[in-house]
Structure 1
Amino acid sequence: MNVTIIGGGLSGLATAFAIQQGARRLGLEINLTILEKQRRAGGKIRSEKIGGYLCEWGPNGFLDSKPATLDLCRDAGLGGDLLPSSDAARRRFIFSDGRLQRVPDSAGGFFRSQLVSWPGKCRLVAELLVPRRADGADETLAEFVRRRLGREALDQLVGPMASGIFAGDPESMSLRSCFPRIYELEQQYGGLIRAMLRLARRKRAEIRAGKVVSGAAGPGGILTSFAGGIQQLTDGLSRHLEGCLRLGIDVEAIIPEKQGFVLQCRDGQVCRTRIVVAALPAMDLALQLEKSVPAMTALLQQIPYAPLQVACFGYRKNAVPRELDGFGYLAARRSGLNSLGTLWSSSIFPQRAPDGHVLLRTMFGGATRPDAAQISAEDVQRCVREDLARTLGITKAPDFVRIIRHEAAIPQYVAGHGARLRALEAAAGRYPGLFLAGNAFFGVGLNDCVARANRVAARVLEALQNTR
């Protein structure tokens, strides 16, 4: 039975690995192929080491609070290479009112913090009085936060978080698709503060009963990577799948037929397969289905992507006036910075910079700056240097510069995303054997991609068993 995965990024590799392992357990004989148009696997996951600096093109790790990715690492033989971030990475900052302000990690710290004014703090507490929204509307993140927490919370706290995770614009982001847990908390408990109090009370009771061990990781978990960068994960998966990977194969069209699909490639190759897993960007899949399934193409074209340029700057430690004792900072919505924020990469993980040096990684662009990909590397470098002078007091030129351009970096789950997904799944369901994976649909994070890969793999294995 032929199973073909289009796209050799993390989603495609993780789906293929799960199918491969599952088929072995079930005794299924399959012919598994991964078609990737680039000459390397991994997609946007790429860890580049230059002169002792380690630059991440895409994500720089994953949170260890979700077991699926940890299980994947262990199953791929990489468990012993996992590298947790430093304790300093728990400290995060927001640049606001002309200075870096630490994000409070407790209720007491929040009320002592000057990140939000006293009127803004009072408005946050008044969230207890805000009724639950019961009409089922797909609010934008900005609409939800202004309704429940106030404008200042949006500008100072939630807006920077949205730009840090999604490079997104909260005015257009779908709350239910981007932060489904927050939507669920309002629906279940009537409000966010009520939810926090109830959940904290429940956790204390579970700790007293010995059901939960309290740890220092916090609810988000610990950011985790590898000594050689997050590319070690995709490289490890690629080794397991070496016989299945076909690089430099660009699929031009997916054409459903009675029993499976025909894949037409740009080099003239034609492949027939019973099952197709599409694990590639939405706009690429839209082109492949344009002639055969135009209804899906129209929906896929409604998923926009944010452009991003990543600026990696290396400095001697003595060129940085401030101690880099944290994860980094994000920019408040009205901070006046050119960039979204800067990660202090060499403080998050060891050996990201040569001895006596530091590595900073700045994100430039995002959904609020749709022209970002067209800006020259020289102008990006100038804008980032201006920002680092304001935020960290760095006046010297960097010793090392690497600018990485992503014209389509992160898919944006804009309002209505959930309805589009339901329509896409329904349309794909008319063609048995067509499955959707990748970060364009059910979560942009690394953990989300692995969880989706496992779900898709389970559905593929079920389909294979049913056709034996």
Structure 2
Amino acid sequence: MTRIAIIGAGISGLAAASSIEEHARRSGLDLTTLVIEKQERVGGKIWSIKEEGYLCEWGPNGFLDSKPMTLDLCRHLQIEERLLRSDDNARKRYIYADKMLHRLPENGPSFLSSKLISWPGKLRLAGEVLVPKRTDPGDETLAEFGRRRLGKEALDKLISPMVSGIFAGNPETMSLKSCFPRIYELEQEYGGLLKAMVRLARKKRAEIKAGKAVASAAGPGGVLTSFVGGIQELTDAASSSLQGELITGQQVERIEKKSGGFLLQLASGKQLDVDLVVTASPSYAVATMIDQLNPQVATLLREIPYAPMNVICFGYERERIARNLDGFGYLIPRAEGCHTLGTLWDSSIFPNRAPQGKVLLRSMMGGATNAAAIDLADDEVIARTSADLSRIMGITESPDFVRVFRHPRAIPQYTRGHGARLQALDAALATTPGLLLSGNAFYGVGLNDCVNAANRVAERVMKEVQDRSA
């Protein structure tokens, strides 16, 4: 029997193990999975914490339903009836700029009437259609792309907040190709973003008219989706469904090569013999495990930086907040000089996130542009978050409920050269067959991306097993 070790029981590792087992069942292959997690709990950064009637997400709060991979996993786990789409009002998203909250425009008329972008900035955006396609094959940063195609104001008020909201990143260092490959492809294929929007809209209308497609109320980005009891329901269900062995509270210190497979050295002193290894842990942790096994891969993995993040949950009596909370929340451009990156109105996004008559706000602080925030004392984090909420939302009352969650290495950063680094990783891994990498450090940081990467690595595992048994 072939024994497959998966190191890490976050969504990447659990989804990989689940997919491997399903592939094996369908193919009739004789294999077993072994998932090893250093923490006592599974789920990684997915953790839905329920206290005093509040449901606080320690990490991500859901996934977008515009892509099929996570929905397919939910169907496989038979938990689709527990899925919970975000409230329709949560489609309203805001940007705090020029000392006020602006609703993010969703169409042409709302863009023209919005005060978020000045008229010179709007004219510069419209001029995007005249900007020639970039032909330099070099890796352009998001900031360089934004200034070149859309102008500085759009970069500061639209692109930068989006980058901080998704990656907690700095657009001056982040790679366009790696962070938003579809945007890069649209410019290359259509010559520009506005041209692409017009062409794709025409194509969509033609498909609908021909009965080949249906209009989606979700829009291109999809609808944020979670579960009744929080996003942790997904990882709990995935771990419960596994047929193989699950070991928690055990850290893999070192991966060694042995005849026909690998030897895993645990911190407890225990050794495990396996045939193949899938790593689904942060890249820096994997680097430590394989320093002796493949120093070149370890060096490349250490080149992937991570941004820190503080997540601050505040609970209030609803009547003490004068502002309408009809929306998703807001992001803050760096130029505004605030302490936080933005705040989500969690109890407006999903029901049952706060007790009756109360609200839950979840703020983010830190990221690549404010890494020092991770070292602030809790009292200072709370004070700075309160100052921003007072400035932006007019909240002067102290919260009734406070929780501060710290992530010293929260989100991997796809900086300039990330694509070349991935190619070098593939080449270096070729010298260690049977060692496979997965996780969010490579081809996408979102939950959908992690599940998609897990499916891909499961297919590679199947090929390795079949090749060995041939």
Residue 428 of structure 1: how far off its partner (Å): 1.2
Kindly provide the CA deviation profile for residues 40-71 of structure 1, in whole angstroms up to 9, marking residues without a partner as x.
11000000000110000111000000011000
Residue 242 of structure 1: how far off its partner (Å): 6.4
Aligned twin of 1:123: 124
Where in structure 2 are the equivalents of 1:173-188 lying within 5 Å?
173-188=174-189
Distance in 2 between the 1:99 and 1:155 partners?
15
Distance in 2 between the 1:247 and 1:48 partners?
19
Secondary structure (helix, strand or coil) at the match of 1:310 reads strand
Secondary structure (helix, strand or coil) at the match of 2:286 reads helix
Aligned twin of 1:2: 3
Aligned twin of 2:162: 161
Aligned twin of 1:383: 384
Secondary structure (helix, strand or coil) at the match of 2:419 reads helix
Distance in 2 between the 1:302 and 1:465 partners?
33
Moved more, 237-246 or 15-24: 237-246
Distance in 2 between the 1:16 and 1:60 partners?
22
Aligned twin of 1:51: 52
Regions of 4+ moved over 2 Å: none
Aligned twin of 1:215: 216
Distance in 1 between the 2:101 and 2:160 partners?
16
Residue 393 of structure 1: how far off its partner (Å): 0.5
Residue 243 of structure 1: how far off its partner (Å): 4.5
The residue identity in structure 2 corresponding to 1:19 is I
The residue identity in structure 2 corresponding to 1:173 is M
Question: Is the contact made by 1:94 and 1:102 (CA closer than 8 Å) also made in structure 2?
Answer: yes
Residue 241 of structure 1: how far off its partner (Å): 1.7
Where in structure 2 are the equivalents of 1:101-112 lying within 5 Å?
101-112=102-113
Aligned twin of 2:449: 448
How many residues matched? 468
Aligned twin of 2:292: 291
Instruction: In structure 2, list runs of 5 or more residues that go unmatched.
Output: none
Distance in 2 between the 1:345 and 1:389 partners?
18
Where in structure 2 are the equivalents of 1:35-114 lying within 5 Å?
35-114=36-115
The residue identity in structure 2 corresponding to 1:463 is E
Distance in 2 between the 1:320 and 1:463 partners?
58
Residue 216 of structure 1: how far off its partner (Å): 1.4
Aligned twin of 2:15: 14
Residue 118 of structure 1: how far off its partner (Å): 0.6
Moved more, 356-365 or 238-247: 238-247
Residue 258 of structure 1: how far off its partner (Å): 3.9
Moved more, 44-53 or 328-337: 328-337
Question: Is the contact made by 1:260 and 1:432 (CA closer than 8 Å) also made in structure 2?
Answer: no
Distance in 1 between the 2:197 and 2:351 partners?
34
Aligned twin of 2:203: 202
Distance in 1 between the 2:407 and 2:38 partners?
17
Distance in 2 between the 1:244 and 1:408 partners?
28
Question: Is the contact made by 2:146 and 2:155 (CA closer than 8 Å) also made in structure 1?
Answer: yes
Residue 129 of structure 1: how far off its partner (Å): 1.1
Distance in 2 between the 1:212 and 1:394 partners?
46
The residue identity in structure 2 corresponding to 1:189 is Y
What TM-score does the superposition give when structure 1 sets the normalisation length? 0.99
The residue identity in structure 1 corresponding to 2:82 is D
Residue 186 of structure 1: how far off its partner (Å): 0.5
The residue identity in structure 2 corresponding to 1:48 is I
What TM-score does the superposition give when structure 2 sets the normalisation length? 0.98
Distance in 1 between the 2:55 and 2:215 partners?
34
Secondary structure (helix, strand or coil) at the match of 2:334 reads coil
Aligned twin of 1:396: 397
Where in structure 2 are the equivalents of 1:406-417 lying within 5 Å?
406-417=407-418
Question: Is the contact made by 1:173 and 1:413 (CA closer than 8 Å) also made in structure 2?
Answer: yes
Distance in 2 between the 1:427 and 1:240 partners?
34
Secondary structure (helix, strand or coil) at the match of 2:265 reads strand
Mark the CA change 1:28 to 1:242 in structure 2 (over 3 Å): closer, same or farther.
closer
Question: Is the contact made by 2:4 and 2:274 (CA closer than 8 Å) also made in structure 1?
Answer: yes
Instruction: In structure 1, list runs of 5 or more residues that go unmatched.
Output: none
Aligned twin of 1:24: 25
Secondary structure (helix, strand or coil) at the match of 1:467 reads helix
Secondary structure (helix, strand or coil) at the match of 1:404 reads strand
Distance in 2 between the 1:188 and 1:324 partners?
40
Where in structure 2 are the equivalents of 1:209-248 lying within 5 Å?
209-241=210-242, 243-248=244-249
Aligned twin of 1:462: 463
- Are residue 193 (structure 1) and residue 194 (structure 2) matched? yes
The residue identity in structure 2 corresponding to 1:420 is R
Question: Is the contact made by 2:21 and 2:243 (CA closer than 8 Å) also made in structure 1?
Answer: no
Secondary structure (helix, strand or coil) at the match of 2:264 reads strand
Residue 291 of structure 1: how far off its partner (Å): 2.1
Distance in 2 between the 1:429 and 1:391 partners?
52
Where in structure 2 are the equivalents of 1:301-312 lying within 5 Å?
301-312=302-313
Secondary structure (helix, strand or coil) at the match of 2:278 reads strand
Question: Is the contact made by 1:139 and 1:175 (CA closer than 8 Å) also made in structure 2?
Answer: yes
The residue identity in structure 2 corresponding to 1:213 is V
Residue 244 of structure 1: how far off its partner (Å): 1.7
Secondary structure (helix, strand or coil) at the match of 1:350 reads coil
Secondary structure (helix, strand or coil) at the match of 1:368 reads coil
Distance in 1 between the 2:338 and 2:371 partners?
16
Distance in 2 between the 1:197 and 1:270 partners?
59
Distance in 2 between the 1:233 and 1:425 partners?
30
